[in-house]
Amino acid sequence: MTPETARRRRRPTKAGTVLTHELIVATALRMLAEHGAEGLSARRLGLALGADPSTVYRYFAGMDDLVLAIADELIHQALAGWQASGNWRSDLRALGTAIHRAYLAHPQAAQLTANRVSGREHEIAADETILGILHGAGFQGEAAARIYHAFIDQTLAFAALDAASLALPEAAREADERQWRATYARLPGATHPHIAAAAPLLVARMNLERSAPAGSSRMYL
């Protein structure tokens, strides 16, 4: 990636804005929220920034390079404000919840990036932090690697799953909830005793998860 000083425009755009790496990433996040992954393109970015679409390629090697920068920005937002307490279980819980919260704040971007490896500054910092917590707790070598993968895979999997639900149109989310009530909640105990016994709790749990604020991850309850 080209250094920022080498990529900065010499003069403002038509809108009077000096482009930066951070501004392009922030604009891309907004476009993803408004139009989804299908609406993210150099042409649309250029229009939103008041610049020629080709300008984006002065800051990023391509659109996939921008996607990786977005992935790193989500981790950056997750790490912002997080502080270690010294209790490794509490620290992992807080860090996992922070990652979950950051992804759910940008559900369309989360869907696009949850499975990517950016290899960038903030992702590396997060990995170093997680492994540092585990080493401080006495986990080394294979044990640390195994727990690291279990932690990060679960965190990102639930973030992606919940983000996908949030990214659905409101009508689709409501249809899913109605399906639970119309189908599962009405199955007779004579034919489906286990579902019938659990259905009220399952429906209540689904409603709790849908109404919970971003970051109150079900995986940590």
Residues recorded for the chain: 221
Instruction: Report how far Cα 85 is from the mean position of its chain's Cα atoms.
Output: 24
Distances (CA, A) of 88 to 38, 83, 92, 94: 40, 12, 6, 10
Number of neighbours of residue 39 by Cβ within 10 angstroms: 12
| CA–CA dist 144, 131 (Å, integer) | 7
* pLDDT at residue number 213: 47
> 100's torsion region: left (phi>0), alpha (psi -120 to 50) or beta?
alpha
CA distance from start to end of the chain: 40
Token output for 44 = 């649309």
- Cα separation, 110 vs 125, in Å, equals 19
Q: What is the pLDDT of residues 57-85, one digit of tens each?
A: 999 999 999 999 999 999 999 999 899 99
Instruction: Give the residue, 144 or 1, on which the prediction is more confident.
Output: 144
For residue range 30-62, list pLDDT tens digits in order.
Answer: 999 999 988 899 999 999 999 988 988 999 999
Between CA 194 and CA 188 the distance in angstroms is: 10
Residue 112 has pLDDT above 70, yes or no: yes
Output 178 or 215, whichever has higher pLDDT. Answer: 178
107 compared with 215, residue with greater pLDDT: 107
Contact 79, 128 (CB under 8 A): no
6 vs 21 pLDDT, higher one:
21
Give me the amino acid identity at 1.
Answer: M
| CA angle at 58 for the pair 22 and 15, rounded to the nearest 5° | 60
Q: What is the pLDDT of residue 118?
A: 96
| CATH 1.10.10 correct for 4-61 | yes
133 against 200, higher pLDDT = 133
- Each domain of the chain, given as residue ranges in start order, spans 4-61, 82-167, 168-221
Give me the mean pLDDT over the 121-150 stretch: 97
